[in-house]
């Protein structure tokens, strides 16, 4: 007999895939987080938009309607995460999209920049895992946004590459520790995704052309591409997956990363 709790999403109406579940999306006011928030709502979830941009989070929640909530949360400030999950003490899915990159060559890189990137992109991910791990219902999901740079080095991205590589190992540790409660921890490693944060790269024709040449499928990603994978990892369709880091980059990991710094310096 089919377990109704494990019915595959393709057998459900779209609005039933996450029906009755609360999803907290950190960094949900823009970019990949905002795309995922919209997708989760269409799948029936009650979404909490959490972002350090409180006004942006509030505006997005109002745009979503349908019981969406908002909260101010900065992954670099542990107290804000404590408050977030204390208020929402029954959570079924958490998606952490917070991250920052400050480019620069290692021999010239300021220590303060290194600390900032790791504080947000790695230590912040640890703090999310710590507090989400306490608040998640048994059988819940924790998904983190890593990066192609977790496995593919890029000149000038030393801090970011190190942080995202650390995040992938943190995901595996979280998967081991949370498994006794049935909580699944996974990560998504996007390639170049069209968001306002990468406009500085995609607006330079030479850089854009090199990214395209090094992506076998021949295009940049979209927030919708990543949102669909995030939905899959939050749904019962991935119920036997944990500790995975999914490359969602059009095959870019099969080639090489463009030398962005060299082109920007010209």
Q: What confidence tens digit (pLDDT) does each residue in 93-140 have?
A: 999 999 999 999 999 999 999 999 999 999 999 999 999 999 999 999
Report the alpha-carbon distance of residue 221 to residue 226 in Å, rounded. 8
Asked whether residue 8 is assigned to any structural domain, the reply reads no
Q: Report percent pLDDT > 70 for the chain.
A: 95
Stretches where the chain sits below pLDDT 50 are 1-5, 7-9
Asked whether residue 1 is assigned to any structural domain, the reply reads no
Confidence at residue 2, expressed as pLDDT on a 0 to 100 scale: 38
Asked whether residue 164 is assigned to any structural domain, the reply reads yes
Asked whether residue 3 is assigned to any structural domain, the reply reads no
Domain that residue 91 falls in: 13-265
Asked whether residue 101 is assigned to any structural domain, the reply reads yes
Residues 160, 211, 232, 257: which is the catalytic one? 160
In the chain, alpha helices (H): 31-42, 54-64, 78-87, 111-118, 124-135, 158-178, 199-202, 205-213, 223-234, 260-265
Report the alpha-carbon distance of residue 27 to residue 73 in Å, rounded. 8
Q: Could you report the per-residue pLDDT of 129-171, keeping only the tens digit for each?
A: 999 999 999 999 999 999 999 999 999 999 999 999 999 999 9
Rounded CA Rg of the chain: 18
Residue with tokens 């928030």: 37
160 noted as active-site residue: yes
Domain count, the chain: 1
Which tokens is 39 given?
């997708």
User: Angle formed by the axes of helices 54-64 and 31-42, to 10°?
Assistant: 30
CATH code at position 212: 3.40.50.720
């Amino acid at each position: 007999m089919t377990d109704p709790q494990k019915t595959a999403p393709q057998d459900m109406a779209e609005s039933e895939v996450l029906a009755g579940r609360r999803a907290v999306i950190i960094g949900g006011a823009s970019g990949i987080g905002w795309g995922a928030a919209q997708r989760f709502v269409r799948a029936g979830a009650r979404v909490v938009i959490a972002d350090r941009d409180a006004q942006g989070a509030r505006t997005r929640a109002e745009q979503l309607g349908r019981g969406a909530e908002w909260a101010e949360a900065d992954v670099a400030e542990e107290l804000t995460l404590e408050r977030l999950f204390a208020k929402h003490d029954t959570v079924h899915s958490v998606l952490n999209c917070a991250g920052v990159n400050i480019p620069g060559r290692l021999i010239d890189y300021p220590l303060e920049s290194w600390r900032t990137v790791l504080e947000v992109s790695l230590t912040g991910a640890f703090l999310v895992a710590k507090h989400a791990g306490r608040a998640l219902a048994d059988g819940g999901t924790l998904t983190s946004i890593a990066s192609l740079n977790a496995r593919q080095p890029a000149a000038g991205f030393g801090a970011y590459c190190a942080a995202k590589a650390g995040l992938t190992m943190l995901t595996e540790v979280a998967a081991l520790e949370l498994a006794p409660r049935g909580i699944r921890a996974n990560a998504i490693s996007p390639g170049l995704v069209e968001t306002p944060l990468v406009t500085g790269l995609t607006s330079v024709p030479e850089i854009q052309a090199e990214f395209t040449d090094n992506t076998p499928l021949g295009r940049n990603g979209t927030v919708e591409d990543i949102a669909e994978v995030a939905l899959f990892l939050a749904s019962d369709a991935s119920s036997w997956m944990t500790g995975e880091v999914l490359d969602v980059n059009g095959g870019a990991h099969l080639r090489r990363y463009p030398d962005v710094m060299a082109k920007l310096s010209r």
